[in-house]
Amino acid sequence: MLFRVRAGARLAVLILIWIPCFGVGEPKQMNPRDQAWQVLRAGLTDSKVSNRAEAVKALSLVSNNRTAEQLAARALQDAHPTVRTVAAASLGQLQATSAIPALKKALSDKELPVVLAATYSLFLLKDKSAYGIYYAILMRDKKSSEGVIQAQIDRLKDPKQVAELGVQEGLGFVPFGGVGFEAYRQFSKRNADPVRAAAARYLAHDPNPISEDALVQSALADASENVRQASLDALAERGNPGCVERLVKNLNDSKEAIRYRTAAVIIHLTSVRKSRRPKPVPAK
């Protein structure tokens, strides 16, 4: 009987020694990729707005990844406008064409920063909906029922409302006309001119002749010199010499910068006209 007890004890000791050798009972270690996704997902559901915004912003680095695009699109439904704004901008940086319907829906968001970020992403994704919004911003009116709310455009007329845009949390990376939001904030404390000027520059890529007419109108008569110059730049980039005759009026403008810029645009566009003329066929 004693022998059996001792044998059983030895067997138990051997089993305890063998178990670690086979890894039984050890927790499975996650690979770095799975760990990384776990961290990101935790950030996306964090209770703090700033943490959720940072996590969504980080998604913009995960290019060519369907999961990242889906998570960013989901963040468009976040309760806080800062997170929705970051999500809209990230989708453009991800070149997420699958998110175009969601971005178009975001054009109806009640918060203007979300609308602006969604518009820029649609511009990056080469969706024509963006041009309707930029036209509305430039002209302070609707070009069509693209989903932009007139009340949002009206906010750009109110200096106090525009100043609020400059202090939105987490918007440091949102681009406006080639400059970051921080730079935009520094010179747009009292008016919406920089946003409208940026809209004018983006309309350089809109093939719709209505946008060209709006640019000519703005170049000739807008109250903002910045918007006038941006409109002239856009007309130069569009390269249509057909608007030269209308621009001649600016050569007598009281603003030197407008006169000089218009002169340069006219010279550029007339050069384009000459280059488009058919070359004479040499006589045989």
Model pLDDT for residues 65-79, shown as the tens digit of each residue: 999 999 999 999 999
pLDDT tens for 94-132 read 999 999 999 999 988 888 888 888 989 999 999 998 998
Confidence at residue 8, expressed as pLDDT on a 0 to 100 scale: 54
Token pair for 32: 């770095």
Helix (H, G, I), strand (E, B) or coil at 179: strand
The domain tally of the chain equals 1
What is the number of residues in the chain?
A: 284
Mean pLDDT of the chain: 78
φ, ψ for residue 176, nearest 5 deg: -130, 105
In a domain, residue 274? The reply is no
In a domain, residue 112? The reply is no
In a domain, residue 131? The reply is no
In a domain, residue 77? The reply is yes
Question: Band of the pLDDT at 183, cuts 50, 70, 90?
Answer: very low
Report whether pLDDT(223) > 80.
yes
Question: Band of the pLDDT at 178, cuts 50, 70, 90?
Answer: very low
Residues facing residue 176 across a β-bridge: 179
Contacts of 233 (CB under 8 A, 6+ apart): 200, 201, 204, 261, 265
Structural domain boundaries, residue 99:
48-106
- Which DSSP category does 176 fall into? B
Question: How much of the chain, in percent, has pLDDT values that exceed 70?
Answer: 68
In a domain, residue 205? The reply is no
Report whether pLDDT(206) > 90.
yes
In a domain, residue 68? The reply is yes
In a domain, residue 87? The reply is yes
Total-model pTM = 0.72
In a domain, residue 216? The reply is no
Site of tokens 């050890």: 26
